[in-house]
């Protein structure tokens, strides 16, 4: 799990939603600059996964992937998942998220 100081607050989420968009097969990324360090949020919609247990499990998978990257730029990042994420292995998701972070100039 990502430490609390690295997760976005509700005010940070509203700021990041006005940021720039980046898309891939399994993810949608919204990025905006911030004054503090890097902060992240993972969003799994109820439309994607009805069960809260599975939504939280997917969110924790995303946080574990993000934790492995060394990110120092002060940015707010929202990672939204798409339906196709449910069948994919974590290694595939990690590679795809790495490509998105490079495209967004985060890492």
For the chain, domain boundaries: 4-103
Query: How far is 52 from 44, CA to CA, in rounded Å?
Result: 10
CATH number of 4-103: 3.30.230.10
Give me the mean pLDDT over the 12-36 stretch: 91
pTM of the model: 0.89
Place of tokens 């430490």: 3
Q: What percent of the chain has pLDDT over 90?
A: 68
Question: Each residue of 31-83: pLDDT tens digit?
Answer: 999 888 899 999 999 999 999 999 999 999 999 999 999 888 899 999 999 98
- The pLDDT assigned to 86 comes to 81
Q: How far is CA 22 from CA 19, 41, 57, 74, 97, in A?
A: 10, 15, 23, 18, 11
Instruction: Using DSSP bridges, classify how beta strands 39-43 and 75-81 pair: parallel, antiparallel or unpaired.
Output: parallel
């Amino acid at each position: 799990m990502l430490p609390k100081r690295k997760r976005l607050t509700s005010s940070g989420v509203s700021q990041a939603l006005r940021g720039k968009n980046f898309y891939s097969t399994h993810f949608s990324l919204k990025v905006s600059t911030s004054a503090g360090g890097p902060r992240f949020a993972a969003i799994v919609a109820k439309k994607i996964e009805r069960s809260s247990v599975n939504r939280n499990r997917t969110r924790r998978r995303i946080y574990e992937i993000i934790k492995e990257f060394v990110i120092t730029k002060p940015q707010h990042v929202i990672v939204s998942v798409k339906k196709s994420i449910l069948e994919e292995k974590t290694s595939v998701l990690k590679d795809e998220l790495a490509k998105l972070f490079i495209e967004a100039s985060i890492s």
